[in-house]
Amino acid sequence: MNALPARDLAGFDVERVRADFPALSRLVHGKPLVYFDNANTAQRPRAVIDAVVEYYTEHNANVSRAVHTLGAEATALYEGARDRLARWINAGSRDEVVFTSGTTMATNLVAYAWAMPRLREGDAIVVTTMEHHANIVPWQLACERSGAKLKVWPITPEGELVEDALDRLLTPEVKLLALTHVSNALGTVNPVARIAAQARARGIPVLVDGSQALPHLAVDVQALGVDFYCFTGHKMFGPTGTGALWARREILESMPPFLGGGEMIRTVRFEGSTWADPPHRFEAGTPNIAGFIGLAAAVDYLAGLGIERIAARERDLLAHATARFLEVPGLRILGTAPGKAPVISFLVGGVHAHDLATLIDAEGIAVRSGHHCAHPLMQHYGVAATARASLAFYNTHAEIDRCAEALERARRMLA
Ligand code: PLP
């Protein structure tokens, strides 16, 4: 066994960090849980759970409506979360951060409130082969309504974007380039700043799906030079039903509302209504107040660990997992881009991914199997599904070894 020392090279006290995550100490089928489904949803640290409980216990009230003490406390905590998130991604202003229920809501917001009013027949949107459905289907809906078309940026067999294809794709009819920062199924980290510069030189706006980037990388939306950045809270150790759309202020100001209701208006008359400024223009109704307070706690937690140390630790975990998994005869990894995030999509011989995942679940090991909401990517590789082990900083070499050994047993049983 190749157990990790308590304090590894990145200066990480793994056992202390693991103790912050209550779910990591539970048993599954009588065995200690090995949680390798972090790209699907991560576990929450006690600090996030406590922040949510404290809000409901001490401060529970609606936001932006009541002058009473609890209302003011809830509003301060909720708006404080916006400040926290804006600083974390280096937004130019807190007003550029629109709270959403996640990436899906953020991409749909842009599709309905930005793309649909602008797209005309003959226009195009470029997406990549490696996109999650949340960064494909909203654009298809926008295209269906407008007569615009999707164009697809291809990838190499290793799972990287074919860089010299971009010039050919960015023709004058392209009105948006929508791509993921980090692929959920392959782990590929796309060179977003370089790509955005190329698009900007042609006046083409860029939307980035940052769902899988925020848990692993330092993200500076201004330095990336993009126009829209979407992300989701539950993959970055925050509560479900949280996320955000960041967009430059002038873009948000140019967009009409997406959903109508309370909070998003300035005035309402039966003859017609006027809209609040961004971000509130896009936050109709009572939001997930507790969730965003929890998300701010998640950001504080990540900041406390240090995103560079997290990245260093995860590089080490990925290297170990790749080496150990490849010792399993017949195991093939899809997505081998250099510098990728700690995500390993794999197949073992002719064994179905669901069978593999089910067998190793019996040993307490959680990996995802399926299409990872990336049908076109699966089609590209000619497979229906893969098994995916996605790691986080709290995982260990010993867990990776347990998983590799369980995969080998499963292979022998199923082959
Ligand atoms: N984009 C990517 C790359 C993802 O991995 C996911 C979640 O799996 C999403 C978008 C959608 O996120 P959510 O379901 O939180 O909106």
Residue 9 has pLDDT above 60, yes or no: no
- The label of the residue with tokens 């790209």 reads 39
Q: At 241, is the secondary structure helix, strand, or coil?
A: coil
Q: How far apart are CA 49 and CA 18, in angstroms?
A: 15
- Which is the closest atom of ligand 1 to the Cα of 101? 16
Is 292 in contact with 46 (CB distance < 8 Å)? no
Task: Please name the residue whose Cα sits nearest to atom 7 of ligand 1.
Answer: 40
Nearest partner of 151 among 115, 132, 125, judged by Cα: 125
The two three-digit tokens of residue 187, written as one number = 């782990």
pLDDT tens, position by position, 330-380: 999 999 999 999 999 999 998 999 999 999 999 999 999 999 999 999 999
Strand partners, 304: none
Ligand 1 centroid to Cα of residue 66, in Å, is 34
pLDDT at res. 415? 78
- Does 397 sit in the ligand 1 pocket, CB within 6 Å? no
What pTM, to 2 d.p., does this model score?
Answer: 0.96
Contacts of 287 (CB under 8 A, 6+ apart): 63, 78, 99
Is 210 close to ligand 1, i.e. is its CB under 6 Å away? Answer: no
Residue 5 has pLDDT above 60, yes or no: no
Cα gap 395→291, rounded to integer Å: 25
> Distance (Å, rounded) from C-alpha 39 to C-alpha 231?
13
> What is the reported pLDDT for 2?
37
Average of per-residue pLDDT across 55-70 = 94
In this structure, how many other beta carbons lie within 10 angstroms of the beta carbon of residue 298? 28
Tens of pLDDT, residue by residue over 156-202, are: 999 999 999 999 999 999 999 999 999 999 999 999 999 999 999 99
Stretch (H or E) spanning 389: strand 386-390
The response to whether residue 132 sits with its C-beta less than 6 Å from ligand 1 reads yes
Note the residue count of the chain. Answer: 415
pLDDT of residue 8: 54
pLDDT at 6: 42
CA of 134 to the centre of ligand 1 (A): 6
In this structure, which amino acid lies at residue 281? R
Instruction: Please give the span between the terminal C-alpha atoms of the chain, in angstroms, as a whole number.
Output: 25
**Angular region, 296: left φ>0, alpha ψ -120 to 50, beta rest:** alpha
The Å distance, Cα 254 to ligand 1 centre, comes to: 26
Cβ neighbors of 164 (< 8 A, separation 6 or more) are none
Cβ burial 91-113 (10 Å sphere, 16+ → b, else e): beeebbbbbbbbbbbbbbbbbbb
Angstrom distance (rounded) from CA 165 to CA 77: 46
Indicate if ligand 1 lies below 6 Å from the C-beta of 209: yes
Please say if the pLDDT value at position 1 is more than 50. Answer: no
pLDDT at position 10 is 55
Contact between residue 13 and residue 305 where contact means Cβ atoms under 8 Å apart: no
The DSSP line for 202-240 is TT--EEEE-TTTTTTS---HHHHT-SEEEEEGGGGTS-T
pLDDT of residue 171: 97
Share of the chain above pLDDT 70, in %: 97
Q: Which CATH architecture has domain 14-32+306-414?
A: Alpha-Beta Complex (3.90)
232 CB less than 6 Å from ligand 1?
Answer: yes
DSSP 256: P
Per-residue pLDDT tens digits for 251-268: 999 999 999 999 899 999
Q: Calculate how far, in angstroms, residue 414's C-alpha sits from the geometric centre of ligand 1.
A: 31
Mutation probe of ligand 1 site: the residue of 40, 100, 105, 132 with most atoms within 8 A of C-beta:
132
CATH 3.40.640.10 range(s) for the chain read 49-303
Catalytic residue positions, numbered = 373
Distance CA 405, CA 328 (A): 8
pLDDT in tens, 213-248: 999 999 999 999 999 999 999 999 999 999 999 999
CA 366 to chain centre: 19
Does the CB atom of residue 104 touch ligand 1 within 6 A? yes
In the chain, which residues fall in CATH 3.90.1150.10? 14-32+306-414
CATH class of segment(s) 49-303: alpha beta
Statement: residue 4 has pLDDT above 50? no
Contact between 79 and 283 under an 8 Å Cβ cutoff? The reply is: no
Is the C-beta atom of 214 inside 6 A of ligand 1?
no
In DSSP terms, 206 is beta-bridged to: 177
Contacts of 31 (CB under 8 A, 6+ apart): 363, 364
Q: pLDDT for 102-148, tens place per residue?
A: 999 999 999 999 999 999 999 999 999 999 999 999 999 999 999 99
- For ligand 1, the distance from its centroid to the CA atom of residue 183, given in whole angstroms, is 10
Mean residue pLDDT across the chain:
96
Q: What is the pLDDT of residue 274?
A: 97
What is the rounded distance in angstroms from the CA atom of residue 156 to the CA atom of residue 357?
Answer: 27
Query: Ligand 1, residues 101, 108, 192, 211: which to mutate, most atoms within 8 A of Cβ?
Result: 211
Cα radius of gyration (the chain) = 22
Cα of 317 to ligand 1 centre, how many Å? 23
